[in-house]
Chains A and B, each alone.
Chain A
Amino acid sequence: MKKSAFLGTLTVAGLAAGMVSAATLDDVKARGELNCGVSTGLTGFSLPDANGVWSGFDVAICRAVAAAVLGDATKVKFVPTTGQTRFTALASGEVDMLARNSTWTFSRDTDLKLDFVGVNYYDGQGFMVRKDLGVTSAKELEGATICIQTGTTTELNLADWFKTNNLNYTPVAIETNAEGEQQYAAGACDAYTTDASGLASTRASFADPENHIILPEIISKEPLGPAVRHGDNQWADIVRWTLNALIAAEEYGVTSANMEELAANSPNPEVKRLLGAEGDLGVMTGLDKDWAKRAIGVAGNYGEIFAATIGEATPIGLARGLNAQWTQGGLLYAPPFR
């Protein structure tokens, strides 16, 4: 009673977002909108444009889930979260899922009561230095001053790596990527370390990208993936298999352009199952048959999304690398749709 009474006040305020029950799917459907936690602005992954329309690699996952569940990729409320507020926002039910370049780690998965449902980007921590420093390997960074963003796993990795390699360093803590770029560009630190994807986009934004190199060492594993609340397996399944559907679609050559045609007359039964032309996989998750078709229809399969947001044709210019399909020597490997 108290709960509804309290909410009565908030209804009046016109701002109430409702309550969280155990079944996130029901909440999302009732609300008619998916609340998706994203980063406050990270080039290529999630950023609002001049009109406040969010776009990016992480954002595309949110939109795909919204399309799969609600049938409309625009029915997403993007909630910007900081490194500190992201997990609380998810745990408290403020957001239904988190697509915010968060590293999947043991303690986050268990102690923080999150469930990482997969990996949408395999990243790793790297170093960028000025060319005239004459350094070609991170092992030569003895005594270097290193700019590092606080509150992330990167500072733990850095401490660990320098310890195992018996090197000394001076950390210069940085609050946001923008400050880090400014500090590094002004020469306040010898090296800048963050996820390799971030380094690439930072380097691309410099006036003189040719004077900076990214060192070959990748000192950590950073599997970035969407996360949901612990304990709601149905919802976790939906997000997990939406991601898998995007990855599998690329593997089977299903694109947003040819998907209708393939659904009708693909010789591959797995493609037909994926696109809902055969069997009813979607119904098992609590959705309908066409869920994956809608998810792929938003911005295409994984490869299309990658190419449009962070791929080599964009200013960020990331190569597929580890994020290629397993058939191409990468790590992307969607379980069978059966």
Chain B
Amino acid sequence: MSDTHAQTVPFVRDTMLPQANPPTTEAGAVRWMRENLLSGPLNVILTLLAIAAIYWVVQGMLPWLLASVWNAGSIAECRQIIADAGRESGACWAVIRERWPQFLFGFYPNHLYWRPVTALLLLFVALAPVLFSKAPRQLLWFSAIYPGLAFWLLWGGSVFVPVVALLGLALGWAAFHFGQRISPLAGVVAAILLPVLWWLFLAGPVAEDLGNLLPRSMPWWMEEVRSDKFGGFVLALTIGVSGIALSLPLGIVLALGRQSDMFLIKSLSVCFIEFIRGVPLITLLFTASLLLNYFLPPGTTFDIILRVIIMVTLFAAAYIAEVIRGGLAALPRGQYEAADALGLDYFRAQRLIILPQALKISIPGIVSTFIGMFKDTTLVVFVGLLDPLKGITDAVRASPDWKGIYWEPYIFVGAIFFIFNFSMSRYSMYLERKLKTDHR
């Protein structure tokens, strides 16, 4: 062996080879495409199918979008402009340009648009303690008074109506605080009973008297806006947000009821939840508009929006209850046992240990319930309210100027719904990830 190679000079490279570029098929866009698009026969087919689908959508929509008309006074004018440009069909966005305030605000008075906008912005401030863990604790006070503030901003009128209504809550809290010294149960009972009595018998006259005493309670910029002026996204958000906010307490009670050891309480909660979840929302809206009049004392009649909010609240409560039940179930058994070991009674254990944790886990679920609710607010058109999707669109189309317009309003409203819901769902996913790390 050694002889054969005696003369051979062992080859040892003493200089580095110059760095060569990777083969073209293994670098850059080509490689990326090979790996991500064309890595096998199945993938090639899928890629081609995807390209075909995208092409089909684009070639269908693009010519129509390219022939968009933004400035026109009526659909006839739009058609004229498109025909003059030599195109067959085109989008007439002029209707959105002219009527966008209606899609957003319904018939809310023009000069008061800032009020719903402020209410929406303040909503984010009020939600800050939930949205961002770093938000100062003092903001919770703002969150507590926000419902009253939002109500006042939206409907306007005397400031004392929401103030007196909030006073009921304060009363409940105080009753709970002092009642607890006697017994926890008495605290709970008093906390429920007192505000109800306050709202039923005293709140109305008190608000009226205060309003009469202080004539400045309604500044000029807070003139009253009645709910028949509500429409479009203001209506959708009002129903959606108040539905979720009002259904939270009820949902918590139902969830606790469903977990209760007491047979009667448990079966009542289960019946309620399963009943609401078993029927379509549209039948509940029908109940609001057609049947509620039968169920209330003869002669009682009140605002259809309020009736819809009541039914939507009941509807949402059943779903929220299931979400919170999930949160309660996700808590380790040890938490319950620890609360028992500390000698806390049922209400204290729930309030101090169980619910804060369960609610925190449930936030993503609550957000997705809200997204669902927000989308479902479009159904109020079937009881004659002017929702953005069909109510306002049909009202716009009834005007002789825009009669016959079809796609544009739907696309506009759909886009707004998408932006809203997509950002909310992304936020809830972020939240889910954030919460997961704490608990696993």
**Which residues of A approach B to under 8 Å, CB–CB?**
2-3, 5-21, 40-44, 47-52, 77-82, 84-85, 88-89, 91-94, 176, 178, 181-182, 185, 201-202, 204-207, 314-316
Contact = CB atoms under 8 A, between A and B. Distances in A.
A178 B394 contact: yes
Given A13-B306, A14-B161, A77 B226 contact: yes
What are the 3 closest A-B residue pairs judged by CB atoms, nearest first? A52-B107, A41-B398, A92-B293
Interface size grouping (class) on chain B: 35 or more
B313 to A, nearest CB: 13
Interface string B385-409: 1100011011101111001101000
A181 B404 CA distance: 7
A80 B229 contact: no
Contacts of B165: 12-13
B299 A21 contact: yes
A12 B204 contact: yes
B283 interface: no
Contacts of B296: 6
B207 A12 contact: yes
B388 to A, nearest CB: 14
B302 A10 contact: yes
Contact of B155 (A14, A18, A43): A14
Nearest to A54: B107
Contacts of B108: 52
A198 B231 CA distance: 25
Given A8-B203, A10-B306, A12-B161, A47 B293 contact: no
Contacts of B227: 15
B301 interface: yes
Contacts of B303: 15-17
B26 interface: no
A3 B400 contact: no
Given A8-B201, A12-B165, A43-B399, A80 B385 contact: yes
A43 to B, nearest CB: 5
Contact of B306 (A3, A15, A91): A15
Contact of A15 (B229, B305, B400, B406): B305
B386 A40 contact: yes
A9 B200 contact: yes
Contacts of B86: none
Interface of B is mostly: helix
B289 A85 contact: yes
A8 B300 CA distance: 12
The A contact surface, by secondary structure, is: mixed
A17 B301 contact: yes
Contacts of B200: 5-6, 8-9
7 contacts: A7-B204, A12-B164, A12-B165, A17-B301, A47-B399, A52-B107, A82-B384
Contacts of B208: 11
Nearest to B75: A205
Nearest to B198: A12
B38 interface: no
A88 B289 contact: yes
B67 to A, nearest CB: 15
B384 A42 contact: no
A206 B404 contact: yes
A250 to B, nearest CB: 24
B395 A47 contact: yes
Contacts of B297: 2-3, 6
A205 B228 contact: no
Contacts of A40: 381, 384, 386, 391, 394-395
Contact of A85 (B168, B384, B386): B384
Contacts of B364: none
A40 B403 CA distance: 14
Which residue among A79, A89, A91, A316 has the maximum number of chain B CB atoms within 10 Å of its CB? A89
Contacts of B289: 85, 88-89
B34 interface: no
B199 interface: yes
Given A13-B306, A79-B228, A316 B384 contact: no
B223 interface: no
